[in-house]
Amino acid sequence: MDLLTVETFARPTDDDALRALQPTLGADRTLLGGGTWLFSVPQPHLAGVVDLAGLGWEPLVAAGDGLTVAATTTLAALGDVDPSSYPAWPAVASFRGCAEALVGSRKVRQVATVGGNVCLALPAAPMITLAAVLDATATIWLPDGRSRTAPVVDLVAGPQRNALAPGEVLRSLHLPAVALRARTALRKASLSPLGRSAALLAGRRGEDGFVLAVTASLPRPAVLRYDDVPTAGALAADVAAAGETVGGGWYDDPHGSPAWRRAMSLLFAEEIRRELGGTG
């Protein structure tokens, strides 16, 4: 929809130009990633946007220590990565499932960005799930020209609340090689076949142990870590406990009741545990 109060549309085409604009960002001037959320609800507080699409950031950069995903990479581009191009990194196979967990169509995914998905911080944000299970680190540009890094999950403060300070830009996500070398499993519950995620759980098992990310069923992600695959009882107890503590309990919105979300989270945690080799 038209953003009727927006009067300026800045489109920096290099990093310096963006850096120069960062201090002007604030409540009434915001970053435009793909715009698939910004243009989907009225934004009467906005007077201007700063478009990231002209910066030409390399979508994916692979190196020995892992994969760096630019914030402007689209969900479709990420989901279309062919796992066979990265034989050493089995976890790449989870990109597609995560990208397709967005309830938006492929037409949305072709425009929506990884950075926008993370910064919007919806409980059902599948890029947060991906980042959580793969221990992704965010690189953030500060308005004063410096940068900082932080675990991506720490950027999620609550439903539609991120932990970025005014003027900060999410530049990229780094997925470490150790996580990418792991095997992964993904499960999604929703009220309809291709619906909004009510519970989106991702697990990984690799050289650094077993990790389970519980998302969408909680206001913010819970990440459970084990040296090796836990027992069914231990995992269930931890998932149930996360539901009591993380973000104030099982999430409640029109996409599923809290009790059902809890049950689906427990069910999927166990399915993922077994898929990744857990017994007993």
Partner 1 sequence: MTGPTTVDGVPLDATPRPGQCLRTWLREHGHHAVKRGCDAGDCGACTVLVDGAAVHSCLYPAVRAAGAAVTTAAGLPEGPDDPRPRFAAAAGFQCGFCTAGMVTTAAAAPGPPSDPTARGRALQGNLCRCTGYRSIADALDGRATVDAGPAGAVGDSVPAPAAERIVRGAEPYTFDGEAPPGLAHLVVVRSPHAHARITRIDTRAAVALPGVLAVLTHENTPSVLFSTARHESRLDDPDDTRVLDDVVRFHGQKVAAVVGTDLAAAEAGARAVVVDYEPLPAVLDAETARAAPPIHDGKTASRIADPARNVVAALHEGVGSIDAGVAEARAAGGAVVTGTWRTGRVSPASLETHGSRAWLDDDGRLVVRSSTQVPFLVRDELARVLGRPPESVRVLTARVGGGFGSKQEMLTEDLTALATLVTGRPVQWELTRTESLTATPTRHPMRVAVTVAARPDGTLTALAIDVLSDAGAYGNHSPGVMFHGCHESMALYRCANKRVDAEAVYTTTPPSGAFRGYGLGQVQFGIESALDDLARELGLDPFELRRRAVVRPGDPFVASADPADHPDDLAFGSYGLPECLDLAQAALARDGDPAPTGPTWRVGEGMASTMIATIPPRGHRAQAVVALDAGRYRVRVGTAEFGNGTATVHTQIAASALGARPDQVELHGGDTDAVDVDTGAFGSTGTVVAGTAVARAAEALAGELRDKAAARLGVAPADCTLGPDGVTAADGRRVDLADLSGARGEGAHGGSPRSVAFNVHAVRVAVDTATGEVRILRSVHAADAGVVINPQQCRGQVEGGVAQGIGTALYEEIRLDDAGRVTTRVLRDYHLPQFADVPRTEVLFADTVDALGPFGAKSMSESPYNPVAPAIANAIRDAAGVRPRRLPMTRDRVWELCREADLPE
Ligand X SMILES: Cc1cc2nc3c(=O)[nH]c(=O)nc-3n(C[C@H](O)[C@H](O)[C@H](O)COP(=O)(O)OP(=O)(O)OC[C@H]3O[C@@H](n4cnc5c(N)ncnc54)[C@H](O)[C@@H]3O)c2cc1C
CB of 111 to ligand X, least distance (A): 6
Say whether residue 104 binds partner 1 (CB under 8 A).
Answer: yes
Which stretches of the chain bind ligand X, using CB under 6 A? 30-38, 40, 52, 71, 102-104, 108, 112-113, 115-117, 119-120, 122, 124-125, 164, 169-170, 196
Q: Tell me the closest approach of the beta carbon of residue 257 to partner 1, in angstroms.
A: 4
Minimum gap (Å) between residue 36 Cβ and partner 1: 5
Can you give the three-state secondary structure of the chain, one letter per residue?
A: CCCCCCCEEECCCCHHHHHHHHHHCECCEEEECCCCCHHHCCCCCCCEEEECCCCCCCCEEEECCEEEEECCCEHHHHHCCCHHHCCCCHHHHHHHHHHHCCCCCHHHHCCCEHHHHHHHCCCCCHHHHHHHHCCCEEEEECCCCCEEEEEHHHHEEECCEECCCCCCEEEEEEEEHHHHCCEEEEEEECCCCCCCCCEEEEEEEECCEEEEEEECCCCCCEEEEECCCCCHHHHHHHHHHHHHHHHHCCCCECCECHHHHHHHHHHHHHHHHHHCCCCC
Nearer to partner 1, 2 or 228 (CB): 2
Select from ligand X, partner 1, none the partner in contact with residue 14, using the beta carbon and a kind-dependent cut-off of 5 to 8 Å: none
Binding flag, residue 233, partner 1 (CB under 8 A)? no
Query: Which residue number, 21 or 71, has a Cβ lying nearer to ligand X?
Result: 71
CB closer to ligand X out of 169 and 224: 169
Segment 3-32, which members bind partner 1 (CB under 8 A)? Answer: 3-9, 11, 32
Q: Does 88 bind partner 1 (CB under 8 A)?
A: no
**Quick check: 260 binds partner 1 (CB under 8 A)?**
yes
Q: Closer CB to ligand X, residue 37 or residue 251?
A: 37
Closer by beta carbon to partner 1, 179 or else 198: 198
Q: What gap in Å lies between CA 92 and CA 183, rounded to an integer? A: 9
Contacts to partner 1 by CB under 8 A: 1-9, 11, 32, 34-36, 39-41, 44, 46, 48-49, 51, 53, 100, 103-108, 110-111, 189, 191-196, 198, 253-257, 259-261, 263-264, 267
